Amino acid sequence: MLKILVTAIIPQEALKTVPENFSVDMFKKKRTMNYSEIYEKFKNTRYYAILCTYKDKIDQAILEVAKPDLKVVVTMSKGTDHINISECQKSGIEVYNIQNVTTDAVADYGIALLLIGVRRLDQILKHKHNHETWYYLWNLNGLSLSQATIGIVGLGNIGKAIAQRLTGFKSKILYYSKQRKLDAEQEYGLHFTSFEKLLQESDAIIVCCSLNQETKNLFSLDAFLKMKSSSIFINIARSEVCNQNDLYHALNYKQIGMALLDVTTPEPLPVSHPLNQLENCIIFPHMATNVTDSRINLCNLALQKIYQSALSLIKY
């Protein structure tokens, strides 16, 4: 019997397809496992595979205690920066990430945050019992997306899906990416530009790039100072793409208009954190992929990676 450690609750639908030669040990609390809990699990039990989240740090210490039984690490995320890839390779441990399954869910969510920002829907909810809000013409004026310039940072699958949706709103779309995407430019009418020009001209910026050495702290105070004072900053990528202290400074001193964040460091951000004290900063609990069908498909695909790996080992 091959054991799989799952560090967070996954849909029961995904567990219905578990082959009889596998057993799943799923963490059942309404949070992901912490580091010490994962370490103790590997210390006391032999697991063939671990199905983890982006929050779970799979470092050398974890891998050392998990060897030699651990053969597969699958993360329910596109990013793998929380996994010590080089150590896995040295130890013959296969590593898999999951791509494209949640693209539509994340793109929809990015547009939802954009609409909240440009129409100031957060303020409507805050003042829903204030009748003046409903009658005074100039209260909470928003911005029409058909008249807006939207900047997309990172034109991978999610960035393209966001661009596709924005064409329906008739927005002008700028993008900054590691590589120019001529096919996307032609299909969606995008404008490839420098990072600096995107900062200067965008009414709202949606960040959906991957995290690497080039993008870490890409949004620092220097970047925020180049943005419009009314601009909206939306981060659905990784929190480390943005320097949170600099973001607080930019928001607090009205150097940019507003921020909507799906990611922070740490998660959740303490209630007392300065960003939580700002009216022009809205923080969501990393829920971009929280769509039932996407979650089921994500977990099914992740488990299939483990089953297929086991078959290849048995075969050879």
Catalytic residue among 127, 131, 249, 286: 286
Beta carbons of 83 and 73 less than 8 angstroms apart: yes
Q: Which of 63, 68, 67, 71 is nearest to 95 (CA)?
A: 71
Q: Which of 16, 90, 87, 15 is nearest to 51 (CA)?
A: 15
Tokens of 196: 């600096």
Q: Which residue has the tokens 């002008």?
A: 172
What Cα–Cα distance (Å) separates residue 213 from each residue in 16, 210, 231, 241? 40, 10, 26, 10
Q: What angle do CA 286, 276, 212 make, to 5 degrees?
A: 45
- Residue 127 annotated as catalytic: no
Q: For 56-88, b where at least 16 C-beta lie within 10 A, e where not — what string?
A: bebeeebbeebeeebbbbbbbbbebbebbeebb
- The residues annotated with a catalytic role in the active site are 286
